[in-house]
Structure 1
């Protein structure tokens, strides 16, 4: 059941990007903007039904898209919806960076998980790396808005940011794997000790 729910969530996460792309391909940037607003609000509602709670990240993305998308639709200027990814990624970067100065743990370290145990210094490095990555993506989006065609921006907004995020995540795996392995080894040792006692 959890695997089915996980698959549903992954599909849900793709819906806004696909809705935006299809709206642009079949009509124009304005239909695409309306489609992504509706899709993001739909994703928030769907997550609410599945998880029975407000998913903050999706709610934030939907709120930003609604504000900037509405400006695009009312003023008939696509630049507002084009700024939306930069704003969202900058907010992610600021949250990650700010967590270095608030509390004992950085933001990534506070996410509940049981498979990764690292020293605080390494969590800080990983957290800082993601903050820099999100700032770089925000800057890249602005470059595409100002120096590339709308078509290039739409294709990159739909597929490029996801691919870059997956590549960056993959680049951090060698750094993380030793801690996953150490955790597994420690678990095996503790299980072995328990069985011997």
Structure 2
């Protein structure tokens, strides 16, 4: 299901007609979720099921860099989150392929989420506003105090994901880790995103304002 449509439908059904989500607000909310595109993740799972963790690792590296390149060609800009994920996948995945030890690629989510947590937390102290608050006001306009809390909440969320991944990587079966890495963290991120909607809804344009 298209993420934009799902967010729009959730807002319309769950928050009442006076606070229906505008399409552009739904889009930006969906784009605030954890920082991995579906195509590389699904390609990783498919390669793992058909072959093994080593082929899947190579496929993940290739598709992540392909996603970064396509975004660059389409927009003329670098997709920073995908670029970070691709570089870490290259480093840790490269070690997995070289040493033939899957533990390196298993720790990739920990490294990625830890970096995101540090960047978000650090943005409270660097610059005039937290990173989340730098979303263009034309997309979604929230008061600074709310952006600050959202930014802090995502920093904590990513830190928890980074920590939780460690015992999953070390103690659960490899196939279980693959499924959690692909679907578990993404699902948790989306649910965490939806939990923001009641707090954001009062600041979204009311239906009559959107139609005017």
TM-score tier, shorter chain, comes to: 0.7 to 0.9
1:54 aligns with 2:73: no
Q: 1:53 to 1:116 in 2, by over 3 A?
A: closer
Gaps of 5+ in 1: 192-197
| Counterpart position of 1:146 | 170
Name segments (4+ residues, structure 1) moved above 4 Å. none
Cα distance, 1:115 vs structure 2: 4.2
| Counterpart position of 2:124 | 100
| Counterpart position of 1:137 | 161
Q: Distance in 2 between matches of 1:60 and 1:153?
A: 21
| Counterpart position of 2:111 | 87
SS in 2 for 1:36: helix
Which has the larger displacement, 61-70 or 115-124?
115-124
1:21 aligns with 2:30: no
Could you give the per-residue CA deviations for residues 74-106 of structure 1, whole angstroms, max 9, x where no partner exists? Answer: 000001101111111011111110011112211
Gaps of 5+ in 2: 5-26
Aligned counterpart for 2:179 among listed residues 147, 150, 155: 155
How many aligned residue pairs are there?
A: 179
Q: Distance in 1 between matches of 2:106 and 2:169?
A: 7
| Counterpart position of 2:69 | 45
Q: Distance in 2 between matches of 1:49 and 1:118?
A: 31
| Counterpart position of 1:194 | none
The Cα RMSD (Å) is 2.3
How does the TM-score come out when normalised to structure 2?
Answer: 0.78
Could you give the per-residue CA deviations for residues 48-97 of structure 1, whole angstroms, max 9, x where no partner exists? Answer: 12112222211111111011100000000001101111111011111110
Larger radius of gyration: 1
1:110 aligns with 2:143: no
SS in 1 for 2:107: helix
Could you give the per-residue CA deviations for residues 135-192 of structure 1, whole angstroms, max 9, x where no partner exists? Answer: 1111111121122111110001111111111000001111111111xxx25x949x7x
